[in-house]
Amino acid sequence: MVSDMGRICVYLPEYSNPAGGRPRARFPESKFRETARDLVTHFGAGTWRRGCVGIWIDRDGTAYVDRIRILMFDTYHARRDLRWVKAYAHSVLLSRFDQKAIYVTLAKIEPVVVR
């Protein structure tokens, strides 16, 4: 068993946030493909979940229910890769998806391969 094995999940909204009377709009598929390509280039492989629903309340009290996509990556270097993903989310994803925040999680896992 590897002690720093983990699964990093990046949660991305499918629609923009409403702002200044502007209606919500679906993000172009190219934004998701580009993000998946960036992350798979770093991790080597990943899993993409579509059609998920996220629910949260913003600091101003606005409640959001949104369709989201979750990109998941297993890593043997969880802490190091989490730092990388946080920097990537800050420098790339916040502006790419016009968000105030990008939700990222790390869960410790114990992989089992059945042959």
Per-residue pLDDT reduced to its tens digit, 65-87: 889 999 999 999 999 999 999 99
Distance of alpha carbon 49 from the chain centroid? 10
One-letter identity of residue 32: F
Does a structural domain hold residue 114?
Answer: no
Residue 2 has pLDDT above 60, yes or no: no
Q: In the chain, how many domains are there? A: 1
Phi, psi (rounded to 5 degrees) for 25 = -130, 145
Q: Give the pLDDT of residue 71.
A: 97
Does a structural domain hold residue 113?
Answer: no
Does a structural domain hold residue 56?
Answer: yes
Per-residue pLDDT reduced to its tens digit, 5-63: 999 999 999 998 777 778 889 999 999 999 999 999 999 999 999 999 999 888 888 88
Cβ proximity of 78 and 109 under 8 Å: no
Does a structural domain hold residue 15?
Answer: yes
Containing domain of residue 37, as a range? Answer: 6-107
Q: Give the pLDDT of residue 100.
A: 87
